Amino acid sequence: MTIEDLKKTGSIIFESISGSRAYGLDTATSDTDIRGVFILPKEQFYSLNYVGQVNNETNDIAYYELSKFIELLIKNNPNIMELLNVPEECVLYKHPIFDSIKKEVFLSKLCKNTFANYAFTQIKKSRGLNKKIVNPVEKERKSVEDFCYVRDEKESILFKDFTTSKSLIPEHCGLVKLSHMKDCYNLFYSEDLNYHGIARREANEVCLSSVPKSEIPIAVLYFNVDGYSTYCKKYKEYWNWVEKRNEERYKSNISHRKNYDAKNMMHTFRLLHMAKEIGVDNEINVRRPDRDFLLSIKNAEFEYDDLVRKAEAIKSELDLIYDNSNLIDQPNLLNVNKLLYKLRSDFYNNNSC
């Protein structure tokens, strides 16, 4: 089901602007995120064609079926809890039935962990960007040969350096596996015996040759398989990230010279502050009262280590706050099931779905 298909069914009961524009943290280049809730037409809900979520390719627009929406509310999922208290000016459509979903039914002490854990996930993402900025991977991919070493007298040297120093042509080299020595090979050389070289182009392992028993090896070669595998994984992750990264956001982070993703860090503190407000005031403050502070983080006005210390301090506060909070421990599943049944029944009875 596409978003267009969903809208034609008339089953959307809630739709709002979310993300930075709902938080009041948007800038001129911010995307407009849309989140919503729908109730599947009866024939689809009672068939094998249940659809729990409909979104576009970038997930900027996403709609949740009522059952999935309620399940995520029960877990106190931060992104979903926010939909119960978005600013009025962000609400694009609201069916009267949606007003029956009260935040008091779902708001619980689970928020301490769900919001804080999500917050610290943002720190990890920020550190991940730091690693990628500081440790870029060259576009030209290394080959198996770059991870092969030769024992030359008392030293271990790179295969390429070995052939250069001995004036050998790599294509005339041949390998035969050494028994009982993992990833070690006898290295042979001949311009007449049609050896295959030590690796074929685009191959992920060394190449063995048929070598006459009378031939004498010129050295022992070691292929660092683990090092090559780690490199291949790092190469793939880095260039996939380069392909998918938000270029404007990346250049902004680079220009700040802080070497971390400032936007991720901003959301870390937004989530931690929201967790604190929920524990103290039992309120989900989507539109941020700490806008200036959060934007100063987004502008990279702080050092990474200082922000991590501040975040750890707030997280420590949450234990005492939630111990003294009058929030319920977790949503009452019996009451939630009654609510879910009533919402769906009322909707089906009042709509020709």
Burial of 39 (0-12, 13-18, 19+ CB in 10 A): buried
Q: Within a 10 A sphere around the Cβ of 154, how many other Cβ atoms?
A: 5
3-state class (DSSP) for residue 176:
strand
The SS3 assignment for 327 reads coil
Q: Which residues pair with 18 in a beta bridge?
A: 33
Give per-residue pLDDT as tens, 148-202: 999 988 889 999 999 999 999 999 999 999 999 999 999 999 999 999 899 987 7
pTM score:
0.66
Distances (CA, A) of 325 to 11, 85, 309: 37, 20, 25
At residue 258, the pLDDT reads 60
Q: For the chain, where do the domains classified as CATH 3.30.460 start and end?
A: 1-106+328-353
Question: Tokens for 271?
Answer: 């989530």
pLDDT at 127: 56
pLDDT of residue 243: 73
Hey, what CATH topology would domain 1-106+328-353 get?
A: Beta Polymerase; domain 2 (3.30.460)
Q: Where are the alpha helices (DSSP H) in the chain?
A: 3-9, 20-23, 42-45, 66-74, 78-81, 103-106, 111-134, 159-165, 225-244, 247-256, 262-281, 291-298, 304-323, 333-350
Element (H, E) at 207: none
**Helices 111-134 and 262-281, axial angle in degrees (round to 10):** 170
Tell me, what DSSP letter sits at residue 108? B
| Mean pLDDT for the stretch of residues 202-212 | 91
Q: How far is CA 175 from the centre of its chain?
A: 42
Helix (H) / strand (E) containing 289: none
Of 128, 115, 155, the closest CA to residue 277 belongs to: 115
pLDDT in tens, 305-332: 899 899 999 999 999 999 999 999 999 9
Is pLDDT above 50 for 353?
no
- Yes or no: say if 271 and 119 are a contact pair by the CB < 8 Å rule: yes
Tokens of 280: 């103290």
Say how far residue 168 (Cα) sits from the centre of its chain. 47
* Cβ proximity of 211 and 172 under 8 Å: no
**Is residue 4 classed exposed, middle or buried when 0-12, 13-18 and 19+ CB atoms within 10 A define those classes?**
exposed
Cβ neighbors of 247 (< 8 A, separation 6 or more) are none
Q: In what order do the strands lie in the sheet with 12-18?
A: 53-55, 61-65, 33-38, 12-18, 91-94
Region 263-271: mean pLDDT is 91
Structure-model confidence comparison of residues 232 and 134, the more confident one: 232
